[in-house]
Amino acid sequence: MAATGGLQIRTSGPPPHLAFACELDVTSLQALFADPAVIPDLKDLHAGVALALGDFSDGRARVVHRRSQAGIPVDAWMALPMEQGYYLNASNEPQAEARFAEFQKWTAANGLRWAAIGLDIEPSIQEFSALRNSKLHLAATLFGRYFDVERVRRAREAYAGLIRQMQSHGYLVETYQFFFIVDERDAHTTLLERLLGLVDVRGNREALMLYTSFNHAMDAAMVWKYGPRAQVIVVGSTKSNPPTDARFPPLDWEEFSRDLRVAAHFSPTVGVYSLEGCVRQGFLERLKSMDWNQPVTIPADALRKANRMRSRIHIALWIGSNLPYFALAIVFGIGWWTWRRRTRRRAAARGRG
């Protein structure tokens, strides 16, 4: 529905199922759930938790037990040790498979129950941090990956096999992807997979991470633009990160509730990053009385910015995917120009003779 100067969205029907991502070390995790209001608030919201498994400790197992006993669904957010890249990508598939085997042993030993397994597919933190310190090494790495189409095939097959293995053990598998994977599919290219190590693979459901905290000026336009292509939408971030807060501050209540309403227009399940950010800002209590059918108006300027962003992404993907052809055309053009120039000089020399 069009509104003056923007687009008005009104969602009807019941609220979506909320799933809060929680990414904390064991000590911080235990402290979070020591808050006597957290579990009752989650139960009142009929919400679930996606718990990042940075370790397989007894303390983390006890937290999972308490959530399950309280009737709160818990997803296993698979994460690797930091030295192995933490996120899953084309550089660490063997480690991801080994991690799942460890997860299975830990789950069995502690009698844990999971609603689903989540595979968070993102570039390696450590890899790009190291490469950033050497521009020459970074350029050489990206150049080599640009032509390594086989790496994409191997990664897709490996992760598809891992997902089948998980499903054979009775797990529902979700994949968490950045929104620009949609643009890459639309462009029919594997450029981002080759350069960044992303893996275009799907489980039972795919969740698109649509974090407007990275660009507050775009309002909820990004959620609106990519929402129709998402099975599950993840909004955020509500979590404070002091090193980056000046540039990417966490969502406040107005922004957060706005994104939730827009996401609910498309998705019966909405993920939230993160639980700890929502607890710190007092969002859980406010969510219990939130009017999900309150209309949201996305400003026209924000919609234009989202359209420009998508257009630039598509152009960059098209140019990046066709660089070899441009290079060949330039080489051919230089060769043709050189040949023509020499031909004319020879003709002029014969004329003077």
Cα–Cα dist 47/51, whole Å: 13
Q: Does residue 210 carry a pLDDT above 70? A: yes
Q: Contact, 110 vs 122, CB < 8 A?
A: no
Residue 131 tokens, joined: 């490469």
User: Each residue of 244-292: pLDDT tens digit?
Assistant: 888 999 999 999 999 999 999 999 999 999 999 999 999 999 999 999 9
Residue 90 tokens, joined: 């084309």
User: Sheet of 296-299: strands edge to edge?
Assistant: 2-3, 6-9, 296-299
pLDDT at position 353, please? 58
pLDDT at position 139, please? 81
Residue 197 maps to a domain: yes
User: Each residue of 223-237: pLDDT tens digit?
Assistant: 999 999 999 999 999
**What is the extent of the structural domain holding 236?**
2-321
Cα–Cα dist 327/194, whole Å: 19
Residue 343 maps to a domain: no
Flag the least confident range among 109-113, 159-163, 341-345.
341-345
- The alpha carbons of the chain give a radius of gyration, in whole angstroms, of 25
pLDDT class of 242 with cuts at 50, 70, 90: confident
Residue 351 maps to a domain: no
Residue 350 maps to a domain: no
Flag the least confident range among 30-39, 137-146, 326-335.
326-335
How many structural domains is the chain composed of?
1
Strands (E), the chain: 2-3, 6-9, 17-22, 48-53, 74-78, 116-120, 173-178, 205-211, 232-236, 269-273, 296-299
pLDDT at position 347, please? 67
User: Each residue of 295-353: pLDDT tens digit?
Assistant: 999 999 999 999 999 999 999 999 999 887 766 777 677 777 777 777 777 766 666 65
Q: Contact, 151 vs 90, CB < 8 A?
A: yes
Q: Does residue 1 carry a pLDDT above 50? A: no
User: Each residue of 78-88: pLDDT tens digit?
Assistant: 999 988 889 99
Residue 326 maps to a domain: no
Which of 66, 79, 11 minimizes the C-alpha distance to 40?
66
Residue 345 maps to a domain: no
Instruction: Please provide residue 261's backbone torsions phi and psi, each rounded to the nearest 5 degrees.
Output: -65, -40
pLDDT at position 257, please? 98
DSSP 121: B
For every residue of 12-49, DSSP letters joined together read: -SSPPEEEEEE---HHHHHHHHHSTTHHHHHHHTT-EE
Q: Can you give the CATH number for the domain in which 250 is found? A: 3.20.20
Q: Does residue 2 carry a pLDDT above 60? A: no
Match 């230089």 to its residue by tokens.
Answer: 334
Residue 334 maps to a domain: no
Residue 191 maps to a domain: yes
State the amino acid at position 302 in one-letter form: A
- In percent, how much of the chain has pLDDT > 70? 93
Cα–Cα dist 309/224, whole Å: 13
**Average pLDDT, whole number, for the chain?**
91
Q: What is the mean pLDDT of residues 141-152?
A: 91
The half-sphere exposure of 255 on its side-chain side, counting CA atoms within 13 A, is 23
Q: Contact, 252 vs 205, CB < 8 A?
A: no
